[in-house]
Amino acid sequence: MKNILILGGDGFCGWPTALHFSNLGHNVSIIDNLSRRKIDVELGVESLTPISSIETRLETWERISGKQIPFYYLDLSIEYDRLLTIIKKNKFDVIIHFAEQRAAPYSMKNSHSKRYTVSNNINATHNILCAIVESGLDIHLIHLGSMGVYGYGTANMEIPEGYLDVCFGEASSTVTKEILYPPSPGSIYHMTKTQDAQMFAYYSQNDNLRITDLHQGIVWGTITAETKLHENLINRFDYDGDYGTVLNRFLMQSAIGHPLTVHGTGLQTRAFIHITDTLKCFEIAINNPPRKGDKVKIFNQMTETFRVRDLANIISEQTESEVLYMPNPRKEDSENDLYVSNKCFLDLGLNPTLISTEVFPEITEIASKYSSRCNKKYILAKSYWSDIERQNANNETY
Ligand code: NAD
Ligand code: USQ
């Protein structure tokens, strides 16, 4: 059994992860500064599901399972000394790092949100790396990265798991070198993930830290075995134009009779993973750490790819929802292919839950149950990548 610290353990991925590992018998602790809840207040929107306070969540879990999860209210981007003290005192084996501002649209909203995203994400990641080194402990750091670090241009090849062999020089004397797959971020948020990757490469080389970076696709679903044990353990469900992600948004939109909001052509291809597979991937990553001195271990944490338009059509056929093609608020390729290797997780035993109409009812049920909590004015995405996208949107009426 391991001593696991979950950074960002009050969030959409972090909360079910904390419950899952606590349930498996590990000693779990959480750090979170509740910034995600504060951003909801700032935006005037709430999770579709009525999430309990972190105190109620943890009291309920202790009552049901008999297990305690200590919680530290701490801002990782500024409270370095407290972080170091907590790490030294608890001697964690594993730290799972979810604690970043994770919405691409929010990161593009205005100069405040751009600057916040950069300083929050990069300082948090760097403080964690620095604290692990200063603690002198042999901790395995697992970070939640993003498929978006690779960019979404058509690559005409299968995207490898993090590294690429490149050959250069004359035919007679070519040199082959392994490099990190060239980053190509499509938002300020994704840019911070590419910076994280550089910091991981540096700290693993300079300080021999053991680091796993999980390049995760879009997580869909919301319920896990543990979150459904009690109403107070319910996970968050973001549906708004900034934080809601595409498949969960479409399912929720169909449940409340709103047209499915396809951006642009809908020919953008993206990578997806179900939330229960996310948990399985963490188990695999924890059980297969890199050795000290190894390079950063990079897994592509996704199970399948879909075009946005195809997802909308599948849901529309099932529910007779209207599909609404809208001007794209984002600057992104109107069409791209995406072939991704996820061999590492498959070889280590991941058996994916794939997108299918059989899995949808679980999500639409939740969306229908809490539909009265939806404020329709927050559904359309209104964070624009530049004035061009803002102008295009203003020329349309809905
Ligand atoms: P989330 O916003 O729901 O959770 C992040 C948590 O971190 C929040 O509870 C927030 O309060 C906390 N946090 C943020 N900054 C902090 C700081 N400085 N100090 C302490 N706590 C802080 O996001 P999520 O959807 O759970 O995503 C978790 C991670 O997984 C993110 O890094 C994200 O980039 C990555 N990811 C998410 C998805 C997805 O579809 N949700 C897909 C790929 C990767
Ligand atoms: N899209 C629509 N309609 C919508 C919402 C989105 O067509 O109503 C389109 C977007 O324009 C984009 C695609 O769907 O082309 C995906 O958007 P998204 O909001 O579902 O996902 P994204 O912004 O890429 O970000 C999410 C998470 C982020 C994570 C990333 C994984 O918020 O934390 O890193 O997925 S990945 O996309 O693989 O980089």
Angle between helices 54-65 and 14-23 (to 10 degrees): 20
Q: What's the total number of domains in the chain?
A: 1
Residue 146: the pLDDT is 97
**Which of these, 68, 85, 81, 76, lies nearest to 31 by C-alpha position?**
76
- Ligand 2 cavity residues, CB under 6 Å: 102-104, 146-148, 217-218, 245-246, 249, 261-263, 268, 270-271, 308, 328, 330, 332, 381
Q: How far apart are CA 279 and CA 303, in angstroms?
A: 13
Residue 149: the pLDDT is 96
Q: How confident is the model at residue 397 (pLDDT cuts 50, 70, 90)?
A: low
Q: How confident is the model at residue 323 (pLDDT cuts 50, 70, 90)?
A: very high
CB atoms within 10 A of CB 34: 14
Residues forming a β-bridge with 4: 28, 94
Tokens (6 digits) for 353: 């839950």
Residue 285: the pLDDT is 98
Residue percentage of the chain with pLDDT more than 90: 94
Task: Give Cβ neighbours of residue 40 (< 8 Å, ≥ 6 apart).
Answer: 46, 47
Residue 158 pLDDT exceeds 80: yes
Q: How far apart are CA 101 and CA 376, in angstroms?
A: 24
Residues forming a β-bridge with 146: 216
Q: How confident is the model over 17-55, as pLDDT tens digits?
A: 999 999 999 999 999 999 999 999 999 999 999 999 999
**Residue found by looking up tokens 């059994």 in the block:** 1
Tokens (6 digits) for 207: 């300080």
Tokens (6 digits) for 317: 């056929």
> In the Cβ-directed half-sphere of 114, how many Cα atoms lie within 13 Å?
11
Angle among Cα 223, 11, 281 to the nearest 5 degrees reads 60
Instruction: Give all strands (DSSP E) within 308-396, no chain letters.
Output: 323-326, 339-340
Residue 225: the pLDDT is 97
User: Which CATH number fits the domain that encloses residue 324?
Assistant: 3.40.50.720
Tokens (6 digits) for 150: 């690779």
Instruction: Give all strands (DSSP E) within the chain, no chain letters.
Output: 3-7, 27-32, 71-73, 94-97, 140-146, 158-159, 163-168, 175-180, 210-216, 218-220, 260-263, 269-274, 297-301, 304-307, 323-326, 339-340
Residue 395: the pLDDT is 86
Residue of 15, 36, 149, 250 with the most ligand 1 atoms within 8 Å of its CB, for mutation: 36
Q: How confident is the model at residue 92 (pLDDT cuts 50, 70, 90)?
A: very high
Over range 219-234, report the average pLDDT.
Answer: 97
Angle among Cα 358, 222, 58 to the nearest 5 degrees reads 145
Over range 108-121, report the average pLDDT.
Answer: 98
Residue 172 pLDDT exceeds 90: no
Residue 155: the pLDDT is 83
Residue 148 pLDDT exceeds 90: yes
Residue 398 pLDDT exceeds 70: no
Q: How confident is the model over 286-321, as pLDDT tens digits?
A: 999 999 999 999 999 999 999 999 999 999 999 999
Question: Is the distance from CB of 260 to CB of 318 less than 8 angstroms?
Answer: no
Q: How confident is the model over 243-268, as pLDDT tens digits?
A: 999 999 999 999 999 999 999 999 99
Task: Give Cβ neighbours of residue 245 (< 8 Å, ≥ 6 apart).
Answer: 218, 219, 220, 238
The response to whether residue 10 sits with its C-beta less than 6 Å from ligand 1 reads yes
- Closest listed ligand to the CA of 262: 2
Q: How far apart are CA 37 and CA 300, in angstroms?
A: 28
Q: How far apart are CA 131 and CA 202, in angstroms?
A: 15
Q: How confident is the model at residue 62 (pLDDT cuts 50, 70, 90)?
A: very high
Q: How far is the CA of 251 from the centre of ligand 1 (A)?
A: 22
- How much is the CA Rg of the chain, to the nearest whole Å? 21
Angle among Cα 296, 301, 303 to the nearest 5 degrees reads 150
Q: Whose CA is nearest to atom 3 of ligand 2?
A: 262
Q: How confident is the model over 342-381, as pLDDT tens digits?
A: 999 999 999 999 998 888 998 999 999 999 999 999 999 9
Residue percentage of the chain with pLDDT more than 70: 99
Q: How far apart are CA 253 and CA 247, in angstroms?
A: 10
Mean pLDDT over each residue of the chain, to the nearest integer: 96
Task: Please report, for residues 11, 85, 309, the alpha-carbon distance to residue 92 in angstroms, rounded to integers and kept in the order given.
Answer: 20, 12, 44
- Closest listed ligand to the CA of 214: 1
Angle between helices 14-23 and 275-287 (to 10 degrees): 60
- Strand order of the β-sheet with 304-307 is 218-220, 269-274, 304-307
Output b/e per residue, 187-216; b: 16+ Cβ within 10 A: bbbbbbbbbbbebbbebbeeeebbbbbbbb
Domain of 50, in residue numbers: 3-394
Q: How far apart are CA 215 and CA 160, in angstroms?
A: 11
Q: Which atom of ligand 2 is nearest to the CA of 253?
A: 8
Residue 367: the pLDDT is 93
Over range 148-171, report the average pLDDT.
Answer: 91
Residue 396 pLDDT exceeds 90: no
